[in-house]
Amino acid sequence: MDLAHPHHARARATRHHGPTLPLKVGTRGSPLALYQTRHFLDLIRSVCPILRDVKAFEEHEISTAGDRIQDRRLAEIGGKGLFAKEIHEALLDGRVDFAVHSLKDLETELPPGIVLACTLRREDPRDAIVLGTACEGTAEAACRAGASPFSALPFGALIGTASVRRQAQLLHARPDLRCEVIRGNVQTRLSRVGTGEFDASLLAIAGLKRLELDHRAGVVISEDDMVPAACQGIIGVTVRADDVELHELLSAICDTESRAVSLAERAFLGALDGSCRTPIGGHARLLPEGDIRLTGLVARADGSFLLRRTLTGHAADAVALGQALGEELLADSPADIFG
């Protein structure tokens, strides 16, 4: 591949107005985002060893509105697309060549000229409860056979979360709990629980594992007890649609299983056309015989309504499966859910 040979890559880029070395990688500046970007670059170098010996890549940290505004839910400031808007502007105007994302934070309809070219192997998609001092000694009870994971939370506990999906499922199971908004990177959220500002919080176990902080997870919640966000635990890479060479390079590290399940989950989300105001969960699993089992959930933020359904279909029909489940939940939910 030409991108493995710097001089050839420059020549082709000049002729076709494509990327030249060093290739510039756009990323948010949080510790988790930087870990994910460096993991992506390690994979690229592993399949194209010559890139280890040249200065083939440059990281470009880009501040996004989603990172800058920390005192409100995403729904109040424009939705989760605010984690990608500035990065995709940099991609479109040529300041960067790749953009690395937590796929759950990427909008289902990308800007014209940008495509999701690669999905990496999925990390654990489950949510975890981070317990504060008010919950000391409660994790053991929640881990007993048959016990609810939410039994680790004392009556009336104050839970910090910015996710209406997590809040809705938590309050549906435990209406006695109180939820308030907590924003910021993983370390900030852990700190606010540790200082007693909140009794507990909920975080993706994937992020905790990547940052080697999974020892802070008091209780890991199964997908049956809390449906994860669509594409939780998957890293996605976007590029310009016409950068054929980069598409070829990325195809070498794209994980086929994560691609199949992400297609189903993103199609499900797209069919619902849900905003960050709508609690939506979606989780697909690839079965041994080649089918996909997709579970979807919609709810009210206060937990007073929750609808969960599962469909199974062939992996080749992942998009159609996601659309069908989304349309089913849309038809069977109260009109105000998506208002």
Helix (H, G, I), strand (E, B) or coil at 180: strand
Q: How far is it, in rounded angstroms, from Cα 170 to Cα 198?
A: 15
Under a CB-based contact definition with an 8 Å cutoff, are residues 26 and 100 in contact?
yes
- Least Cα distance to 3 among 58, 43, 54 occurs for 54
Q: What is the sign, positive or negative, of the torsion defined by CA atoms of 239, 244, 250, 255?
A: positive
Q: How far is it, in rounded angstroms, from Cα 91 to Cα 220?
A: 36
Under a CB-based contact definition with an 8 Å cutoff, are residues 329 and 311 in contact?
no
Q: How far is it, in rounded angstroms, from Cα 20 to Cα 7?
A: 9
Place of tokens 């999906």: 165
Kindly provide the residue ranges of all beta strands, DSSP E only, lying in 52-174, ordered along the sequence. Answer: 57-61, 98-102, 114-119, 127-131, 158-160
| 255 belongs to the catalytic site | no
Task: State the Cα angle at 295 between 297 and 148, rounded to 5°.
Answer: 75
**From the CA atom positions of the chain, what is the Rg in Å?**
21
Q: Which tokens in the block code for residue 339?
A: 């208002």
Kindly provide the residue ranges of all beta strands, DSSP E only, lying in 247-289, ordered along the sequence. Answer: 280-286
Q: How far is it, in rounded angstroms, from Cα 108 to Cα 323?
A: 12
Identified catalytic residue from 67, 97, 105, 199: 105
- Least Cα distance to 313 among 259, 270, 269, 260 occurs for 260
C-alpha distances (whole Å) from 100 to each of 26, 140, 235, 302 are 6, 37, 7, 33
CB atoms within 10 A of CB 93: 8
Place of tokens 């990327």: 19
Active site (catalytic) residues: 105
